[in-house]
A and B are shown apart, each in its own frame.
Chain A
């Protein structure tokens, strides 16, 4: 662990601090865009999975299974090389958020499907009998009830997605981790392994830890409330 206490190594990191800021910006940019794509895909395919049309359910199943059972790295490589060799290269970050968005979208779809399925069937029927249209039914009746089931696992999915931005490394990488790696192995900047990795790890931890602990506490408090309600019902 040479270099943890070396002033020279730390000052080198300080001199090149813009590398890390750039990496962080790229990671955040990728993560936010991917999140938007994932949410859109997740809502569309989640609703399709809970619809009555067999064909829509089938399409959504195929999407979720194919994406969830293959590595995100492979999807990203595939997208990048397929675009590059056909001459429509989008650039690294665009490829990154597209691939990540599609990958995370499959997980979002599952989360949303479980959320909607957790609402008792009578609620759908009651809303239908009151003359609500599909959108009104979803927006006024189903969404408020399923949101508390959906949000905790959704936050966990987001944490995983933030960690997965490091996949960009394989297609040439401009994210935080890739830039850290090229910093520590670079010809002019190389050598200060420990400080650079400590900095990069701390940034990731500071982003992900609050989110994942929020999800955990949220989940436990919801479970406790459900248990209490069940106990009241039984009594």
Chain B
């Protein structure tokens, strides 16, 4: 490990630090945007799957069920590859933006679509478990007050359902931050891909003219540390929320 000092000196270079930090920013933006869009889409899927039980609307329930099972039982990378070929991309993205070339922009968009499709399948199941936790009497109460179905869902069911699933949703954010590293497979420039890029050019920066084991340790160690800080703080939040919830609500019987 006599080259360790040389490898560490790479991290002092402002260009490399900036490159990595931009990757972190992209990772965060990709994850947050995907989770938000997936929550919207996943909620619709969960509602369709839970409440479309009438004779005419049963077909929606079936579609939502197929969608969820399909995406839950196939790998994310599979959908990324498919979206790269088949996903249409709006013309507006076909030019350089955010310091990215037009090719990179299109890649980013298509890979994000795949991530969103995949994550909404998982989130749909989470939301459905929340919907199931809302007592049926709540719906009847809403009906008796003259609310229609949409109003009941929007004003009565969803707020209660989301309150119970917020910790699970936050854990899903952790998973999505980790899953966003899959985008590195198709050269979308987030943290993971950038780390790999720096490694492949490490011989130019570390002053020894060759790529050493210590470079692998330093670079991937840095990336792992960044991922760990993001995810660990999130999981601490989840744990604090769960312990708070237990304290506020006394343990109910039969759960």
Which residues 188-222 in B have Cβ within 8 Å of A in the complex? 192, 195-196, 199, 211-213, 215-217, 220
Which residues 206-253 in B have Cβ within 8 Å of A in the complex? 211-213, 215-217, 220, 223-224, 227-228, 231-232, 235, 253
Which of B82, B86, B212, B224 is close to A74, meaning CB atoms less than 8 Å apart?
Answer: B224
A71 near B192 with CB under 8 A, answer yes
Given contacts A74-B220, A78-B224, A82-B217, contact A166 B75 (CB under 8 A): yes
A81 near B220 with CB under 8 A, answer yes
* Closest residue on chain B to residue A193 by CB atoms: B85
B178 near A71 with CB under 8 A, answer yes
Interface size class of B (residues with CB under 8 A): 35 or more
A163 near B192 with CB under 8 A, answer no
A227 near B254 with CB under 8 A, answer yes
> Complex: how many Å from CA A231 to CA B254?
7
Could you list 29 A-B pairs, sorted by A, with CB under 8 Å?
A69-B174, A69-B178, A70-B224, A71-B181, A71-B182, A73-B185, A74-B224, A74-B227, A75-B224, A81-B216, A85-B212, A163-B73, A163-B74, A163-B75, A166-B76, A166-B78, A169-B77, A169-B185, A170-B184, A181-B81, A193-B86, A200-B78, A204-B73, A204-B78, A208-B73, A209-B69, A209-B73, A227-B254, A231-B254
B78 near A177 with CB under 8 A, answer yes
Specify which chain A residues have a CB less than 8 angstroms from the CB of B70 in the assembled complex.
205
Query: Max chain B CB contacts within 10 Å: which of A77, A165, A204, A227?
Result: A77
Q: Is A91 an interface residue (CB 8 A)?
A: no
A204 near B74 with CB under 8 A, answer yes
List residues of A whose CB falls within 8 A of some B CB.
Answer: 1, 65-66, 68-75, 77-78, 81-82, 85-86, 159, 163-167, 169-170, 177, 180-181, 184, 193, 197, 200-201, 204-205, 208-209, 212-213, 227, 230-231, 234
- Distance in Å: Cβ of A111 to nearest Cβ of chain B: 15
Given contacts A1-B86, A74-B220, contact A69 B254 (CB under 8 A): no
Q: Is B22 an interface residue (CB 8 A)?
A: no
- Distance in Å: Cβ of B105 to nearest Cβ of chain A: 21
Which residues 50-107 in B have Cβ within 8 Å of A in the complex? 69-70, 72-78, 81-82, 85-86
A205 near B224 with CB under 8 A, answer no
Specify which chain B residues have a CB less than 8 angstroms from the CB of A77 in the assembled complex.
192, 195-196, 220
- Give the A-B contact count at a CB cut-off of 8 A: 115
Specify which chain B residues have a CB less than 8 angstroms from the CB of A231 in the assembled complex.
254
Given contacts A166-B78, A193-B85, contact A74 B232 (CB under 8 A): no
Known: A71-B177, A165-B75. 5 other contacts (CB 8 A): A70-B228, A73-B181, A169-B77, A212-B69, A234-B254
Specify which chain A residues have a CB less than 8 angstroms from the CB of B86 in the assembled complex.
1, 193
* Closest residue on chain A to residue B27 by CB atoms: A71
* Closest residue on chain A to residue B210 by CB atoms: A85
B75 near A204 with CB under 8 A, answer yes
Query: Max chain A CB contacts within 10 Å: which of B70, B73, B82, B216?
Result: B73
Which of B77, B85, B192, B253 is close to A166, meaning CB atoms less than 8 Å apart?
Answer: B77
> Complex: how many Å from CA A201 to CA B82?
10
> Complex: how many Å from CA A75 to CA B254?
41
A69 near B77 with CB under 8 A, answer no
> Complex: how many Å from CA A169 to CA B78?
11
Specify which chain A residues have a CB less than 8 angstroms from the CB of B228 in the assembled complex.
65-66, 69-70
Specify which chain B residues have a CB less than 8 angstroms from the CB of A86 in the assembled complex.
213
Given contacts A74-B223, A85-B211, A86-B213, contact A170 B185 (CB under 8 A): yes
A230 near B253 with CB under 8 A, answer yes
A73 near B216 with CB under 8 A, answer no
B181 near A74 with CB under 8 A, answer yes
B182 near A73 with CB under 8 A, answer yes
> B168-187 CB contact bits vs A (8 Å, 1 = yes)?
00000010011101101100
B227 near A70 with CB under 8 A, answer yes
- Distance in Å: Cβ of A80 to nearest Cβ of chain B: 9
* Closest residue on chain A to residue B234 by CB atoms: A69
B75 near A177 with CB under 8 A, answer yes
B81 near A177 with CB under 8 A, answer yes
Given contacts A70-B231, A230-B254, contact A212 B216 (CB under 8 A): no
- Distance in Å: Cβ of A193 to nearest Cβ of chain B: 5
- Distance in Å: Cβ of B72 to nearest Cβ of chain A: 6
* Closest residue on chain B to residue A163 by CB atoms: B75
Which of A82, A166, A177, A230 is close to B213, meaning CB atoms less than 8 Å apart?
Answer: A82
Which of A1, A73, A82, A159 is close to B192, meaning CB atoms less than 8 Å apart?
Answer: A73
